[in-house]
């Protein structure tokens, strides 16, 4: 059965092969469009072979580097071409001549208002010259309150000058100061009559100073000065003083060696006494000034002579260390001094003094202080200071036992201890607004007196300025003083009577309008709250007062 099957299979394959061979010999019929018409059968890969007779038996010469030379033609122009490559000097453009700004160094001011206020000021100066300046001024202010003889008047007349050379500067000043008032104070609960006599003070002041101008080649820095005054009151009180002072400093790398010295010759005369109260001072020091700190070590040697003679030596040490440069600087120190008491200073602080005032110097035996200060650019500055002082014979004012509207000077017999904290800040909020403020806190521990008479434990002051534009300026001031105490006059052997003087706040404000660069008008209001507060017992201040006027610059 298998043999016929193989036989038939062989016949089919042979027939198929015959048909294929016969198909290759037939001509190709016209193929229909879009169909494949050629068939290629690849039997083996193509390998080209070059016969030996066709091969080139010579290697190429790679060193044949004959350059190509192109045929060039030139068109010569019979003309010289100039090339100016030099840089010319630049010529500055001429500026339009500007009109020189006219500085108005002189002004006059006049005003009047409520409370009988009259005000006048005149100031004149030589002008631009930096090498030589001179001028004069005059000031007047008078006011009158509602109470009997509540009148005040002040006048000042002065001349000044300054000359500057290459090596030194010389300045001087001559002034007359006059103040007058009445003893208008009275006891509101007493029917006793009081003496309301007039009081007047006059002071002639002269001073001169010579300072060398700093240069890198200067071997020493020095300054010499002289100050003198003659003071008098309407009675027989007189005081004359001449102070000769000077300083010298030598810098050597980071060290500075120096000396400050003065000789104060003062004579006091009143109705019942004459006395001398002169003081010699010497302050040698060594200062180490580094890039990030400063240290000053010295001594303050003070010799009193006249009616009382004694010598005191105090430390004079101070240091500064920046925590954050410019923004926060720690500082501190310890020192001491003799606090001179003068008739002129007493009358300036309290013009309602009795005759024959007791004159004695206080001694600040030790003053230890420390604090921090800094700036945040030109817009913000601050300083905070804490201190502890021990003062011998602290000066205080009390009402006279027999004439209650006059005051005597007394001294705390022993060492008084004073703790204090002071802070101040300056803020420039914008080009329009600037503010300043200062706060003071004190605590007194006295040796013999019950209280620190008329000395407040809290004071705060502030002022603000608004430059609304070039023509309008507004300013304001605020003063707050805490409660104080006074010793009420009584029998010498009886108990001490203490009177509390209430705290007060005084607010003032002013405005100025500049009409042009010469004329302006201004308005001022003082004690806007209208409170007739007291700084000294039985002496109420003026109530609200308003005045205005004009000023002229020339």
Beta strands 151-164 and 168-182 are antiparallel
pLDDT at 377: 80
> Does 114 have pLDDT greater than 50?
yes
Look up residue 207 and give its two tokens: 């001073």
Q: Which residues contact 229 (CB under 8 A, 6 or more apart)?
A: 203, 204, 205, 206, 239, 240, 241, 344
Its pTM surpasses 0.75: yes
Buried residues in 410-447 as b, exposed as e (16+ CB within 10 A)? bbbeebbebebebbbebbbeeeeebebbebbbbebebe
In a domain, 387, yes or no: yes
> Does 125 have pLDDT greater than 70?
yes
Number of independent structural domains in the chain: 1
Which runs of E-coded beta strand occur in 165-273? 168-182, 198-212, 221-233, 238-252, 255-269
In a domain, 55, yes or no: no
Backbone angles phi, psi at 8, to 5 degrees: -70, -35
Do residues 233 and 383 touch, judged by C-beta distance below 8 A?
Answer: no
In a domain, 223, yes or no: yes
Do residues 354 and 403 touch, judged by C-beta distance below 8 A?
Answer: yes
Beta strands 484-488 and 519-526 are unpaired
pLDDT at 19: 42
pLDDT one-digit tens code per residue, 33-80: 445 555 666 566 666 666 665 566 666 666 666 666 767 777 766 666
In a domain, 497, yes or no: no
The residue among 20 and 37 whose pLDDT is bigger is 37
Beta strands 168-182 and 221-233 are unpaired
The region of weakest confidence among 84-98, 187-201, 353-367 is: 84-98
pLDDT one-digit tens code per residue, 325-383: 889 999 999 999 999 999 999 999 999 999 999 999 999 999 999 999 999 887 899 99
Do residues 429 and 435 touch, judged by C-beta distance below 8 A?
Answer: yes
pLDDT at 3: 46
> Does 315 have pLDDT greater than 80?
yes
Strand partners, 416: 391
Alpha carbons within 13 A on the beta-carbon side of 510: 16
Q: Which residues contact 497 (CB under 8 A, 6 or more apart)?
A: 487, 488, 489, 490
C-alpha 296 chain-centroid distance? 23
The region of weakest confidence among 178-192, 268-282, 307-321, 324-338 is: 178-192
In a domain, 445, yes or no: yes
Q: CA–CA separation, 105 vs 99, rounded Å? A: 18
Q: Residue 280 belongs to what domain range? A: 130-455
Q: Which residues contact 374 (CB under 8 A, 6 or more apart)?
A: 324, 326, 327, 328, 329, 381, 382
In a domain, 110, yes or no: no
Strand partners, 134: 161
Q: What integer best gives the mean pLDDT of the chain?
A: 87
Look up residue 491 and give its two tokens: 């029998």
Mean pLDDT (whole number) for 307-316: 95
The residue among 23 and 492 whose pLDDT is bigger is 492
Do residues 452 and 424 touch, judged by C-beta distance below 8 A?
Answer: no
**Nearest alpha-carbon partner for 297 in 312, 289, 286:** 286
The radius of gyration computed from the CA coordinates of the chain, to the nearest angstrom, equals 50
pLDDT at 376: 85
> Does 311 have pLDDT greater than 90?
yes
CA dihedral for 460, 466, 471, 472, sign (positive or negative): negative
Q: CA–CA separation, 306 vs 298, rounded Å? A: 27
In a domain, 25, yes or no: no
| DSSP code per residue over 392-450 | EEEEEEEE-SSSTTSEEEEEEEEEEEEEEEEEEEEEE-SSSEEEEEEEEEEEEE-SS-S
**Nearest alpha-carbon partner for 400 in 273, 495, 538:** 538
C-alpha distances in Å from residue 427, one per residue of 308, 377, 424: 47, 10, 10
In a domain, 422, yes or no: yes
Which CATH number characterizes residue 397's domain? 2.40.170.20
């Amino acid at each position: 059965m298998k043999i016929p099957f193989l036989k038939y299979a062989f016949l089919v394959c042979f027939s198929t092969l015959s048909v294929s061979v016969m198909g290759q010999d037939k001509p190709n019929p016209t193929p229909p469009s879009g169909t494949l018409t050629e068939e290629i059968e690849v039997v083996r890969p193509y390998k080209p072979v070059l016969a030996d007779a066709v091969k080139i038996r010579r290697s190429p010469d790679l060193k044949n580097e004959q350059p190509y030379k192109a045929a060039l033609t030139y068109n010569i122009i019979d003309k010289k071409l100039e090339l100016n490559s030099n840089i010319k000097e630049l010529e500055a453009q001429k500026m339009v001549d500007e009109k020189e700004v006219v500085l108005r160094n002189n002004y006059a001011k006049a005003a009047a208002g409520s409370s009988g206020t009259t005000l006048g000021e005149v100031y004149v100066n030589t002008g631009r010259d930096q090498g030589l300046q001179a001028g004069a001024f005059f000031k007047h202010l008078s006011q009158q309150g509602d109470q009997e003889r509540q009148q005040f008047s002040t006048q000042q007349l002065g001349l000044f000058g300054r000359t500057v050379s290459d090596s030194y500067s010389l300045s001087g000043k001559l002034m007359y100061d006059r103040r007058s008032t009445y003893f208008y104070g009275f006891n509101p609960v007493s029917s006793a009559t009081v003496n309301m006599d007039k009081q007047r003070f006059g002071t002639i002041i002269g001073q001169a100073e010579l300072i060398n101008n700093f240069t890198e080649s200067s071997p020493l820095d020095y300054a010499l000065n002289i100050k003198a005054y003659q003071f008098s009151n309407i009675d027989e009180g007189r005081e004359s003083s001449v102070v000769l002072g000077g300083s010298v400093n030598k810098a050597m790398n980071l060290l500075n060696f120096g000396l400050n010295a003065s000789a104060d010759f003062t004579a006091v005369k009143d109705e019942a006494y004459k006395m001398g109260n002169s003081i010699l001072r010497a302050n040698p020091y060594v200062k180490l000034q580094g890039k990030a700190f400063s240290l000053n070590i010295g001594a303050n040697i003070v010799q009193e002579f006249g009616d009382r003679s004694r010598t005191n030596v105090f430390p004079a040490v101070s240091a500064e260390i920046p925590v954050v440069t410019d923004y926060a600087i720690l500082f501190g120190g310890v020192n001491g001094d003799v606090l001179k008491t003068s008739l002129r200073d007493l009358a300036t602080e309290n013009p309602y003094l009795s005759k024959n005032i007791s004159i004695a110097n206080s001694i600040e035996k030790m003053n230890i202080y420390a604090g921090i200060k800094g700036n945040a650019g030109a817009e913000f500055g601050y300083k905070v200071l804490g201190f502890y002082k021990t003062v011998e014979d602290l000066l205080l004012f009390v009402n006279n036992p027999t004439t209650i509207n006059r005051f005597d000077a007394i001294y705390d017999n022993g060492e008084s201890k004073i703790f204090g904290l002071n802070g101040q800040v300056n803020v420039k909020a914008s080009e329009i607004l600037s503010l300043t403020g200062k706060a003071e806190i004190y605590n007194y521990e006295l040796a013999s007196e019950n209280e620190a008479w008329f000395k407040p434990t809290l004071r705060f002051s502030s002022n603000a300025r608004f430059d609304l534009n070039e023509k309008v300026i507004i300013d304001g001031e605020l003063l707050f003083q805490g409660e104080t105490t006074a010793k009420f006059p009584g029998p010498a052997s009886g108990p001490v009577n203490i009177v509390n003087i209430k705290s007060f706040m005084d607010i003032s404000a002013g405005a100025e309008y500049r009409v042009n660069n010469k004329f302006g008008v201004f308005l001022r209001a003082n004690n806007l709250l209208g409170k007739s507060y007291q700084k000294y017992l039985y002496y109420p201040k003026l109530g609200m007062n308003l005045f205005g006027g004009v000023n002229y610059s020339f």
